[in-house]
Chains A and B, each alone.
Chain A
Amino acid sequence: MVAFGAMAFMLMAGWQFNIGGTEEVFSDKDLALENAYAGSGNNVCYNTITSASGHQVRYCPGCQFINNSAAPWYAPSSNC
Protein backbone atom coordinates (compact mmCIF):
# COMPACT_ATOMS: atom_id res chain seq x y z
CA MET A 1 0.00 0.00 0.00
CA VAL A 2 2.88 2.34 0.87
CA ALA A 3 4.65 1.57 -2.40
CA PHE A 4 1.47 2.07 -4.40
CA GLY A 5 0.78 5.38 -2.64
CA ALA A 6 4.30 6.60 -3.27
CA MET A 7 4.10 5.58 -6.93
CA ALA A 8 0.76 7.34 -7.38
CA PHE A 9 2.11 10.46 -5.72
CA MET A 10 5.18 10.49 -7.97
CA LEU A 11 3.02 9.98 -11.05
CA MET A 12 0.91 12.93 -9.99
CA ALA A 13 3.92 15.10 -9.32
CA GLY A 14 5.41 14.17 -12.69
CA TRP A 15 2.16 14.96 -14.43
CA GLN A 16 1.76 18.31 -12.70
CA PHE A 17 5.28 19.55 -13.32
CA ASN A 18 5.93 17.77 -16.61
CA ILE A 19 8.97 15.92 -15.38
CA GLY A 20 9.79 13.04 -17.66
CA GLY A 21 11.13 9.85 -16.06
CA THR A 22 13.63 9.30 -18.84
CA GLU A 23 15.16 12.76 -18.83
CA GLU A 24 18.85 12.94 -17.94
CA VAL A 25 19.22 14.51 -14.47
CA PHE A 26 22.92 13.97 -13.75
CA SER A 27 25.68 13.92 -16.32
CA ASP A 28 28.37 11.24 -16.26
CA LYS A 29 30.82 13.89 -15.10
CA ASP A 30 28.58 14.78 -12.15
CA LEU A 31 28.30 11.14 -11.16
CA ALA A 32 32.06 10.58 -11.50
CA LEU A 33 32.75 13.62 -9.32
CA GLU A 34 30.24 12.46 -6.77
CA ASN A 35 31.79 8.99 -6.68
CA ALA A 36 35.27 10.42 -6.37
CA TYR A 37 34.15 12.59 -3.48
CA ALA A 38 32.10 9.95 -1.71
CA GLY A 39 34.32 6.98 -2.39
CA SER A 40 33.17 3.77 -3.98
CA GLY A 41 32.45 1.62 -0.92
CA ASN A 42 29.31 1.07 1.07
CA ASN A 43 30.69 1.90 4.50
CA VAL A 44 29.51 5.04 6.27
CA CYS A 45 32.49 7.11 7.40
CA TYR A 46 33.20 10.54 8.88
CA ASN A 47 35.93 13.13 8.44
CA THR A 48 35.25 14.68 11.84
CA ILE A 49 35.35 12.52 14.93
CA THR A 50 35.34 13.07 18.68
CA SER A 51 36.28 10.98 21.73
CA ALA A 52 33.60 8.66 23.09
CA SER A 53 34.54 5.68 25.24
CA GLY A 54 32.98 2.44 24.01
CA HIS A 55 32.05 3.84 20.59
CA GLN A 56 33.63 3.11 17.22
CA VAL A 57 33.46 5.01 13.99
CA ARG A 58 34.96 4.68 10.51
CA TYR A 59 37.31 7.55 9.75
CA CYS A 60 37.15 8.42 6.03
CA PRO A 61 40.87 8.73 5.35
CA GLY A 62 41.76 5.04 5.25
CA CYS A 63 38.20 3.86 6.01
CA GLN A 64 39.51 2.36 9.26
CA PHE A 65 37.55 1.87 12.46
CA ILE A 66 38.78 4.23 15.18
CA ASN A 67 38.19 2.94 18.68
CA ASN A 68 36.64 5.03 21.47
CA SER A 69 35.47 7.62 18.96
CA ALA A 70 32.17 8.85 17.60
CA ALA A 71 31.00 11.23 14.90
CA PRO A 72 29.64 14.49 16.32
CA TRP A 73 25.96 14.98 15.53
CA TYR A 74 26.75 17.84 13.15
CA ALA A 75 29.39 15.94 11.12
CA PRO A 76 28.25 14.99 7.61
CA SER A 77 28.75 11.35 6.70
CA SER A 78 30.41 10.01 3.58
CA ASN A 79 31.12 6.58 2.13
CA CYS A 80 34.32 4.65 1.79
Chain B
Amino acid sequence: MISFHKFKLLLSSITICLVVCISCNTSSSSPPVYMTFNEIEYIIQFPETFFLKKGENPEIDVIGIRDFRIFDSIMVMGTSNPYGIWSFISLPSNQKLGSFLKRGEGPLEFMQGPSTSNGATFVHENGRLLAFLYDFQKGDVKKFNISQSLNDGELHLTQIESSLPPFLSNFIMLDSITYFTKEIGNRDTQQLRFIYKNGEKISLPLLDRLNQAALKEGSDFNILATNTKFSDVKNRFIEAPTGLNYINIYALDSSIVKTICIGEELSDISKIQDEWPQWDRKYVFVNNQAFDDFFGVIYVNESYKDYETIRKQLPSIMLFDWEGNPLAELKMENHFTDFDIDFKRQELYTFDVHSDEFLKFDIQIVLQHLNK
Protein backbone atom coordinates (compact mmCIF):
# COMPACT_ATOMS: atom_id res chain seq x y z
CA MET B 1 0.00 0.00 0.00
CA ILE B 2 1.27 3.44 -0.91
CA SER B 3 2.34 5.55 2.05
CA PHE B 4 1.01 9.04 2.71
CA HIS B 5 4.41 10.63 1.93
CA LYS B 6 4.78 8.71 -1.32
CA PHE B 7 1.27 9.71 -2.37
CA LYS B 8 2.05 13.35 -1.58
CA LEU B 9 5.27 13.13 -3.60
CA LEU B 10 3.42 11.54 -6.52
CA LEU B 11 0.76 14.25 -6.52
CA SER B 12 3.47 16.96 -6.36
CA SER B 13 5.20 15.39 -9.37
CA ILE B 14 1.95 15.27 -11.36
CA THR B 15 1.26 18.92 -10.53
CA ILE B 16 4.74 20.01 -11.61
CA CYS B 17 4.47 18.04 -14.85
CA LEU B 18 1.07 19.59 -15.63
CA VAL B 19 2.32 23.12 -14.92
CA VAL B 20 5.35 22.55 -17.19
CA CYS B 21 3.17 21.06 -19.94
CA ILE B 22 0.70 23.95 -19.78
CA SER B 23 3.42 26.63 -19.81
CA CYS B 24 5.19 24.98 -22.77
CA ASN B 25 2.02 24.65 -24.82
CA THR B 26 2.25 27.76 -26.99
CA SER B 27 0.35 26.26 -29.92
CA SER B 28 -2.99 26.97 -28.19
CA SER B 29 -2.71 30.76 -28.76
CA SER B 30 -5.69 32.29 -30.58
CA PRO B 31 -5.67 32.64 -34.37
CA PRO B 32 -5.08 36.19 -35.65
CA VAL B 33 -8.13 38.44 -35.96
CA TYR B 34 -8.20 41.35 -38.39
CA MET B 35 -10.91 43.89 -39.23
CA THR B 36 -9.94 44.25 -42.88
CA PHE B 37 -11.08 43.58 -46.44
CA ASN B 38 -9.40 41.15 -48.87
CA GLU B 39 -7.53 43.87 -50.77
CA ILE B 40 -4.81 45.25 -48.54
CA GLU B 41 -2.21 47.82 -49.53
CA TYR B 42 0.79 48.45 -47.32
CA ILE B 43 2.02 52.04 -47.00
CA ILE B 44 5.70 52.22 -46.17
CA GLN B 45 6.37 55.86 -47.08
CA PHE B 46 4.71 59.01 -48.36
CA PRO B 47 5.70 60.74 -51.61
CA GLU B 48 5.95 64.08 -49.80
CA THR B 49 6.65 65.17 -46.24
CA PHE B 50 5.96 68.66 -44.93
CA PHE B 51 7.15 69.94 -41.57
CA LEU B 52 4.66 72.37 -40.04
CA LYS B 53 6.41 74.50 -37.45
CA LYS B 54 4.70 75.88 -34.36
CA GLY B 55 1.47 77.44 -35.51
CA GLU B 56 -0.19 80.74 -34.75
CA ASN B 57 -2.72 81.17 -31.94
CA PRO B 58 -5.99 82.06 -33.70
CA GLU B 59 -7.24 83.89 -30.54
CA ILE B 60 -10.61 82.16 -30.36
CA ASP B 61 -12.55 83.45 -27.36
CA VAL B 62 -14.62 80.34 -26.59
CA ILE B 63 -14.05 78.23 -23.50
CA GLY B 64 -14.59 74.51 -22.95
CA ILE B 65 -14.06 73.50 -26.59
CA ARG B 66 -14.24 69.76 -27.27
CA ASP B 67 -14.10 69.55 -31.08
CA PHE B 68 -14.73 71.71 -34.15
CA ARG B 69 -15.52 71.82 -37.87
CA ILE B 70 -15.13 74.48 -40.55
CA PHE B 71 -17.71 75.18 -43.27
CA ASP B 72 -16.77 77.96 -45.68
CA SER B 73 -16.29 80.93 -43.36
CA ILE B 74 -18.02 79.46 -40.31
CA MET B 75 -16.29 77.56 -37.55
CA VAL B 76 -18.58 75.34 -35.43
CA MET B 77 -17.26 74.32 -32.02
CA GLY B 78 -18.68 71.65 -29.75
CA THR B 79 -18.21 72.81 -26.16
CA SER B 80 -18.99 71.81 -22.59
CA ASN B 81 -21.18 74.91 -22.08
CA PRO B 82 -24.60 73.52 -21.02
CA TYR B 83 -26.46 76.62 -22.26
CA GLY B 84 -24.82 76.74 -25.70
CA ILE B 85 -23.24 73.42 -26.55
CA TRP B 86 -22.35 74.59 -30.07
CA SER B 87 -20.65 77.95 -30.58
CA PHE B 88 -20.20 79.63 -33.93
CA ILE B 89 -17.62 82.18 -35.10
CA SER B 90 -16.92 83.68 -38.50
CA LEU B 91 -13.52 83.26 -40.14
CA PRO B 92 -11.12 84.99 -40.39
CA SER B 93 -12.43 87.72 -38.05
CA ASN B 94 -13.26 85.25 -35.23
CA GLN B 95 -16.42 87.28 -34.58
CA LYS B 96 -18.90 85.41 -32.37
CA LEU B 97 -22.07 84.52 -34.25
CA GLY B 98 -23.98 82.76 -31.49
CA SER B 99 -24.29 79.71 -29.27
CA PHE B 100 -27.09 77.16 -29.45
CA LEU B 101 -28.25 73.76 -28.13
CA LYS B 102 -28.87 73.14 -24.46
CA ARG B 103 -27.97 70.32 -22.16
CA GLY B 104 -30.97 68.78 -20.41
CA GLU B 105 -33.68 66.18 -20.54
CA GLY B 106 -36.25 68.19 -22.51
CA PRO B 107 -37.44 67.02 -25.94
CA LEU B 108 -35.14 69.44 -27.78
CA GLU B 109 -32.24 69.22 -25.33
CA PHE B 110 -29.25 66.90 -25.23
CA MET B 111 -27.95 64.95 -22.26
CA GLN B 112 -24.57 64.53 -23.99
CA GLY B 113 -22.85 66.23 -26.90
CA PRO B 114 -23.54 66.24 -29.74
CA SER B 115 -20.00 66.20 -31.02
CA THR B 116 -19.36 68.25 -34.15
CA SER B 117 -16.89 65.74 -35.52
CA ASN B 118 -18.55 62.48 -34.50
CA GLY B 119 -22.33 62.43 -34.17
CA ALA B 120 -23.48 65.11 -36.60
CA THR B 121 -23.92 65.19 -40.37
CA PHE B 122 -23.62 68.61 -42.00
CA VAL B 123 -25.31 69.34 -45.31
CA HIS B 124 -25.77 72.36 -47.56
CA GLU B 125 -29.37 72.59 -48.74
CA ASN B 126 -30.63 75.47 -50.88
CA GLY B 127 -27.79 77.68 -49.71
CA ARG B 128 -28.43 76.90 -46.04
CA LEU B 129 -26.15 75.04 -43.69
CA LEU B 130 -27.98 72.27 -41.79
CA ALA B 131 -26.81 69.71 -39.28
CA PHE B 132 -28.52 66.41 -38.49
CA LEU B 133 -27.74 65.59 -34.88
CA TYR B 134 -27.84 62.16 -33.33
CA ASP B 135 -28.97 62.15 -29.70
CA PHE B 136 -26.66 59.57 -28.15
CA GLN B 137 -28.83 59.04 -25.08
CA LYS B 138 -32.26 58.92 -26.71
CA GLY B 139 -31.39 57.57 -30.14
CA ASP B 140 -33.37 60.16 -32.06
CA VAL B 141 -32.27 62.56 -34.78
CA LYS B 142 -32.81 66.30 -34.83
CA LYS B 143 -32.51 68.75 -37.70
CA PHE B 144 -30.65 71.92 -36.81
CA ASN B 145 -31.03 74.75 -39.29
CA ILE B 146 -27.77 76.55 -38.59
CA SER B 147 -28.10 79.32 -41.18
CA GLN B 148 -31.58 80.28 -40.03
CA SER B 149 -30.62 80.11 -36.34
CA LEU B 150 -27.62 82.39 -36.92
CA ASN B 151 -29.78 84.76 -38.99
CA ASP B 152 -32.62 85.01 -36.48
CA GLY B 153 -30.53 84.68 -33.32
CA GLU B 154 -32.84 81.91 -32.12
CA LEU B 155 -32.70 78.14 -32.29
CA HIS B 156 -34.36 76.36 -35.21
CA LEU B 157 -34.28 72.72 -34.17
CA THR B 158 -36.84 70.07 -35.06
CA GLN B 159 -37.09 66.40 -34.34
CA ILE B 160 -37.29 64.15 -37.38
CA GLU B 161 -38.61 60.62 -37.78
CA SER B 162 -36.00 57.97 -37.08
CA SER B 163 -35.92 54.59 -35.41
CA LEU B 164 -32.35 54.41 -34.27
CA PRO B 165 -31.13 52.77 -31.08
CA PRO B 166 -29.32 54.87 -28.47
CA PHE B 167 -25.58 54.63 -27.76
CA LEU B 168 -24.46 54.20 -31.37
CA SER B 169 -20.71 54.51 -31.64
CA ASN B 170 -20.89 55.96 -35.17
CA PHE B 171 -23.71 57.82 -36.91
CA ILE B 172 -23.76 59.24 -40.44
CA MET B 173 -26.86 60.45 -42.27
CA LEU B 174 -26.51 59.44 -45.92
CA ASP B 175 -29.79 60.91 -47.21
CA SER B 176 -33.18 61.87 -45.79
CA ILE B 177 -34.16 58.23 -45.13
CA THR B 178 -30.83 56.42 -44.86
CA TYR B 179 -28.36 56.23 -41.98
CA PHE B 180 -25.05 54.47 -41.48
CA THR B 181 -24.68 53.27 -37.89
CA LYS B 182 -22.26 51.30 -35.76
CA GLU B 183 -23.23 49.80 -32.44
CA ILE B 184 -21.62 47.67 -29.76
CA GLY B 185 -23.27 44.25 -29.76
CA ASN B 186 -23.16 40.54 -29.13
CA ARG B 187 -22.46 40.93 -25.40
CA ASP B 188 -19.93 43.73 -26.00
CA THR B 189 -17.71 41.52 -28.19
CA GLN B 190 -18.36 43.15 -31.57
CA GLN B 191 -18.94 46.52 -33.18
CA LEU B 192 -21.70 46.08 -35.75
CA ARG B 193 -22.28 48.30 -38.77
CA PHE B 194 -25.74 48.58 -40.28
CA ILE B 195 -27.70 50.71 -42.70
CA TYR B 196 -31.08 51.97 -41.52
CA LYS B 197 -33.37 52.77 -44.45
CA ASN B 198 -36.91 53.94 -43.76
CA GLY B 199 -36.54 52.56 -40.27
CA GLU B 200 -35.51 49.10 -41.52
CA LYS B 201 -32.18 47.68 -40.36
CA ILE B 202 -30.18 46.35 -43.31
CA SER B 203 -27.01 44.24 -43.39
CA LEU B 204 -24.59 44.45 -46.29
CA PRO B 205 -21.94 41.82 -47.10
CA LEU B 206 -19.14 44.38 -47.08
CA LEU B 207 -20.20 45.67 -43.67
CA ASP B 208 -20.63 42.10 -42.40
CA ARG B 209 -17.04 41.43 -43.35
CA LEU B 210 -15.87 44.13 -40.90
CA ASN B 211 -18.52 43.09 -38.35
CA GLN B 212 -16.97 39.63 -38.12
CA ALA B 213 -14.06 40.94 -36.06
CA ALA B 214 -14.88 39.77 -32.55
CA LEU B 215 -13.30 39.93 -29.14
CA LYS B 216 -13.44 37.45 -26.31
CA GLU B 217 -16.19 38.17 -23.82
CA GLY B 218 -14.97 40.57 -21.16
CA SER B 219 -12.39 42.26 -23.40
CA ASP B 220 -12.39 46.03 -23.82
CA PHE B 221 -14.76 46.70 -26.73
CA ASN B 222 -12.81 49.88 -27.53
CA ILE B 223 -10.14 47.65 -29.13
CA LEU B 224 -12.55 47.71 -32.11
CA ALA B 225 -13.36 51.44 -31.85
CA THR B 226 -13.17 53.44 -35.05
CA ASN B 227 -13.76 56.95 -36.30
CA THR B 228 -15.81 56.83 -39.48
CA LYS B 229 -16.25 59.67 -41.95
CA PHE B 230 -18.19 59.88 -45.21
CA SER B 231 -17.64 61.95 -48.34
CA ASP B 232 -20.94 62.82 -50.00
CA VAL B 233 -18.91 63.95 -53.02
CA LYS B 234 -17.14 60.62 -53.49
CA ASN B 235 -19.83 58.48 -51.77
CA ARG B 236 -17.09 56.74 -49.85
CA PHE B 237 -16.43 55.94 -46.22
CA ILE B 238 -13.15 55.93 -44.38
CA GLU B 239 -13.00 54.06 -41.14
CA ALA B 240 -9.85 54.41 -39.08
CA PRO B 241 -9.63 52.20 -35.98
CA THR B 242 -8.22 54.10 -33.02
CA GLY B 243 -5.98 51.24 -31.94
CA LEU B 244 -5.15 49.34 -35.16
CA ASN B 245 -2.69 50.37 -37.85
CA TYR B 246 -4.97 50.18 -40.87
CA ILE B 247 -7.77 52.17 -42.49
CA ASN B 248 -10.75 50.75 -44.34
CA ILE B 249 -12.06 52.59 -47.40
CA TYR B 250 -15.36 51.48 -48.88
CA ALA B 251 -18.44 52.45 -50.85
CA LEU B 252 -21.83 50.85 -50.25
CA ASP B 253 -22.06 49.92 -53.96
CA SER B 254 -18.71 48.09 -53.51
CA SER B 255 -17.00 50.26 -56.15
CA ILE B 256 -14.12 50.39 -53.69
CA VAL B 257 -13.54 47.96 -50.83
CA LYS B 258 -9.97 48.05 -49.60
CA THR B 259 -7.73 48.33 -46.59
CA ILE B 260 -4.56 50.40 -46.33
CA CYS B 261 -2.06 49.46 -43.66
CA ILE B 262 0.56 51.81 -42.23
CA GLY B 263 3.63 49.62 -42.04
CA GLU B 264 4.46 46.10 -43.09
CA GLU B 265 2.26 44.10 -40.72
CA LEU B 266 -1.42 44.34 -39.76
CA SER B 267 -2.31 44.84 -36.10
CA ASP B 268 -3.60 41.52 -34.80
CA ILE B 269 -6.69 42.07 -32.64
CA SER B 270 -6.27 38.67 -31.02
CA LYS B 271 -2.71 39.49 -29.93
CA ILE B 272 -3.75 42.90 -28.59
CA GLN B 273 -6.49 41.46 -26.38
CA ASP B 274 -4.51 38.39 -25.24
CA GLU B 275 -0.97 39.67 -24.86
CA TRP B 276 -0.97 43.44 -24.47
CA PRO B 277 -1.92 44.82 -21.06
CA GLN B 278 -4.14 47.87 -21.36
CA TRP B 279 -1.31 50.35 -20.75
CA ASP B 280 0.67 48.91 -23.67
CA ARG B 281 -2.21 49.14 -26.16
CA LYS B 282 -1.89 52.00 -28.61
CA TYR B 283 -3.66 55.06 -29.83
CA VAL B 284 -2.81 54.77 -33.52
CA PHE B 285 -5.29 57.03 -35.32
CA VAL B 286 -6.70 59.62 -32.94
CA ASN B 287 -9.15 61.18 -35.39
CA ASN B 288 -9.79 61.70 -39.09
CA GLN B 289 -11.45 64.09 -41.50
CA ALA B 290 -12.98 63.70 -44.95
CA PHE B 291 -12.57 66.41 -47.60
CA ASP B 292 -13.82 66.55 -51.19
CA ASP B 293 -10.55 65.48 -52.85
CA PHE B 294 -8.72 63.64 -50.10
CA PHE B 295 -8.94 62.53 -46.50
CA GLY B 296 -6.62 62.89 -43.53
CA VAL B 297 -5.93 60.92 -40.36
CA ILE B 298 -4.12 61.96 -37.18
CA TYR B 299 -1.43 59.34 -36.67
CA VAL B 300 0.08 59.06 -33.19
CA ASN B 301 0.97 55.39 -32.60
CA GLU B 302 1.71 55.77 -28.88
CA SER B 303 0.86 53.51 -25.94
CA TYR B 304 -2.09 54.43 -23.69
CA LYS B 305 0.40 54.77 -20.84
CA ASP B 306 2.50 57.41 -22.59
CA TYR B 307 -0.31 59.12 -24.49
CA GLU B 308 -2.33 59.65 -21.30
CA THR B 309 0.63 60.94 -19.28
CA ILE B 310 3.72 62.33 -20.98
CA ARG B 311 2.83 62.21 -24.72
CA LYS B 312 6.29 61.70 -26.20
CA GLN B 313 5.17 60.94 -29.73
CA LEU B 314 4.44 63.98 -31.89
CA PRO B 315 1.49 63.36 -34.21
CA SER B 316 1.40 63.69 -37.97
CA ILE B 317 -1.48 64.17 -40.38
CA MET B 318 -1.42 61.56 -43.14
CA LEU B 319 -3.23 62.58 -46.31
CA PHE B 320 -4.58 60.07 -48.85
CA ASP B 321 -6.62 60.36 -52.03
CA TRP B 322 -9.98 58.55 -52.17
CA GLU B 323 -8.38 55.52 -53.81
CA GLY B 324 -6.22 55.12 -50.71
CA ASN B 325 -2.99 56.29 -52.31
CA PRO B 326 -0.69 58.21 -49.95
CA LEU B 327 -0.35 61.90 -50.86
CA ALA B 328 1.63 63.61 -48.13
CA GLU B 329 2.50 63.45 -44.46
CA LEU B 330 2.37 66.63 -42.39
CA LYS B 331 4.81 66.32 -39.50
CA MET B 332 3.65 68.43 -36.57
CA GLU B 333 5.37 69.86 -33.51
CA ASN B 334 2.25 70.16 -31.37
CA HIS B 335 -0.19 67.67 -29.89
CA PHE B 336 -3.81 67.76 -31.02
CA THR B 337 -6.95 65.64 -31.11
CA ASP B 338 -8.90 67.31 -33.94
CA PHE B 339 -8.16 69.18 -37.15
CA ASP B 340 -9.89 70.82 -40.10
CA ILE B 341 -8.99 72.99 -43.06
CA ASP B 342 -10.19 76.45 -44.01
CA PHE B 343 -9.86 75.99 -47.78
CA LYS B 344 -10.75 79.64 -48.50
CA ARG B 345 -7.71 80.94 -46.67
CA GLN B 346 -5.69 77.72 -47.06
CA GLU B 347 -5.15 77.35 -43.34
CA LEU B 348 -5.04 74.22 -41.22
CA TYR B 349 -6.49 74.42 -37.69
CA THR B 350 -5.61 71.97 -34.94
CA PHE B 351 -7.18 71.66 -31.49
CA ASP B 352 -6.09 69.61 -28.51
CA VAL B 353 -8.86 68.68 -26.06
CA HIS B 354 -6.32 67.78 -23.35
CA SER B 355 -4.53 71.14 -23.29
CA ASP B 356 -7.15 73.42 -24.97
CA GLU B 357 -4.47 74.57 -27.42
CA PHE B 358 -5.89 75.91 -30.69
CA LEU B 359 -3.39 76.59 -33.49
CA LYS B 360 -3.53 77.49 -37.15
CA PHE B 361 -0.97 76.91 -39.90
CA ASP B 362 -0.53 78.28 -43.38
CA ILE B 363 -0.73 75.26 -45.69
CA GLN B 364 -0.84 77.06 -49.04
CA ILE B 365 2.23 75.15 -50.26
CA VAL B 366 0.76 71.83 -49.19
CA LEU B 367 -2.57 72.44 -50.97
CA GLN B 368 -0.81 73.70 -54.10
CA HIS B 369 1.22 70.54 -54.13
CA LEU B 370 -1.87 68.34 -53.67
CA ASN B 371 -3.63 70.11 -56.57
CA LYS B 372 -0.79 69.37 -59.01
Q: Which residues of A contact B (CB under 8 A)?
A: 1-2, 4-5, 8-9, 11-12, 15, 50-57, 64-68, 70, 72-74
Of chain B, the residue at the smallest CB distance from A64 is B137
Is the C-beta of B67 less than 8 angstroms from some C-beta in chain A? Answer: yes
Nearest CB of chain B from residue A37's CB, rounded to whole Å:
20
Is the C-beta of B45 less than 8 angstroms from some C-beta in chain A? Answer: no
Contact B287 A53 (CB under 8 A): yes
Of chain A, the residue at the smallest CB distance from B14 is A8
Q: Which residues of B contact A (CB under 8 A)?
A: 8, 11-12, 14-15, 18-19, 21-22, 66-67, 112-113, 115, 117-119, 136-137, 167, 169-170, 184, 221-222, 225-227, 242, 278-279, 281, 283, 286-287, 304-305, 308, 337-338, 353-354
Cα-based distance from A73 to B281 in the complex (angstroms): 9
Contact B225 A55 (CB under 8 A): yes
Contact B15 A12 (CB under 8 A): yes
Nearest CB of chain A from residue B201's CB, rounded to whole Å:
20
Instruction: Given A8-B15, A12-B11, A12-B15, decide whether A56 and B222 contact each other with a Cβ distance below 8 A.
Output: yes
Of chain B, the residue at the smallest CB distance from A67 is B136
A-B contacts, 17 listed (Cβ < 8 Å): A5-B18, A5-B22, A9-B19, A12-B12, A50-B354, A52-B222, A52-B225, A52-B283, A53-B115, A53-B242, A53-B338, A54-B169, A54-B287, A56-B169, A68-B67, A70-B222, A74-B308
Pick from A5, A68, A72, A74: contact of B118, CB under 8 Å = A68
Cα-based distance from A57 to B249 in the complex (angstroms): 26
Pick from A2, A12, A56: contact of B225, CB under 8 Å = A56
Q: Which 8 A-B pairs have the closest CB atoms?
A: A5-B18, A73-B279, A54-B227, A73-B304, A54-B225, A55-B222, A65-B167, A51-B353
